Structure 1
């Protein structure tokens, strides 16, 4: 009979299969490290390092990736961390079951529930390197307490029963932005077009339309299927029947997926030394991930924290907005007569 630990392992193996995993930035295409293990190898290494007196960089990176993916509404790395933590508690759970005469499936269910609750409670104020140890201690304490009280009778069947699908996807609304300030744009198609044109004007103002145009050429040529597939799932594409949903993209797709800590600290308006101190204390707003010896901050969570809308736009609208801004600029730069 499968218990909670087995269900978690089967669930993660189904999610990861035999694909290579990147514990540094989450995507092997954006990682500078050449070696990327499959989940089975990653899991074995994590369990081996679990007995180290000090937290290892592997566990620190796994927790950081779990926080980053939680912000995206993806529980893959959260479940990976939970599976590795639970795997290290298999022997302890068996001893508790034997010593306290409690069903093993009940003990492991208690442990999993407590570890998952601890994961949620340690989002703020606990450095990533300390999270696994806190999860293990809480799981063991909960197992002893509940086993002693004999309050649990049955175990759950699937790990998903304890997961709230809306836990990380229900994020506070971002500040709205519009090209026409003070106006109430009720037509979704108009609002969608204005959104793209406004960003085109901003790109022109910052002298980066050449790079944006090359990016648009790749989208139109079908060389960016990962971006177009994600953008096509946007909840509101008012003119997709006219422009084609495959050409839409998020503004963050044009930006680098990760930036260094100095750039992130500058964007947040805090000193670099203070940013590293916040990372060590676990209070930095966006969970950084470690790539080699450097810390990298994911751009999308950083945009969310800074309340910068990650808008869905269409290349045609962006280019029209840039062209309009360019015409206005030329008009004001016209030489004076006489």
Structure 2
């Protein structure tokens, strides 16, 4: 599966091709220097110079071109800079994934998001020669912080609470507020509201609303990082009537971080004995991790394998749905 690193590589390779790369003007045809490397050699030189204690003039030139192109809403040189930084992030992304038992794709997305945020924030506050290192440090530290937040102990004590949520969200008797008011459900914002309210009704139905409300309190107090800007949509952020547009969260955040192998096997429709055989053979659909004497499966990976949507919902919508289900709204 393609991750954020792969997407940047694909973008840069497509744009650069085999043409000469000019880090002086951005256009080899108008540059006074006679010879220019192709992109492969250019990147090799950049990575080699990155090992020095301080960044070379090559990196300063990349930063300068990135700023110039940004002014025209052209992000090509920023992406070239990002692709040259990836070797400094790749090893750390694997390390965080192994230590925190997270999906590699999520860790790398967090890194890229943080590096781009550092780029924007450093426009005037960081000297050009320090910008690449600033981006790397921000990417790694942010990825660690989010990993620790994701790796928190689950607010749901009983892993069986996860099982009902594998069922389809079909609650025909739920009178969600958006339906009552006759709003067009084809609207993206309304669809998000309905989805959140249906989850709220489901949480109420399975008697785990208290832990959900406790989780919501953590979100509203800033103790949970949320899904990040890469996951939110303009319709989410533009909605009126919700408190704190940044409070959206993945539904998997409420579930246990890991479930036991028997539970995972049941969700996937695999006999428990067959599940252990497949683990030993390395063919179990979700590669488990060993914790003490037991195998555990990452919940998010399990949801992906079982085609259980990891929806993004808002606390207000979830609580409204629970209130309707309980007859108090």
Q: TM-score range by the shorter chain?
A: 0.3 to 0.5
Normalised by the length of structure 1, the TM-score is: 0.44
| TM-score between both structures, scaled by the size of structure 2 | 0.46
Say which structure, 1 or 2, has more relative contact order (CA 8 Å, 6+ apart): 1
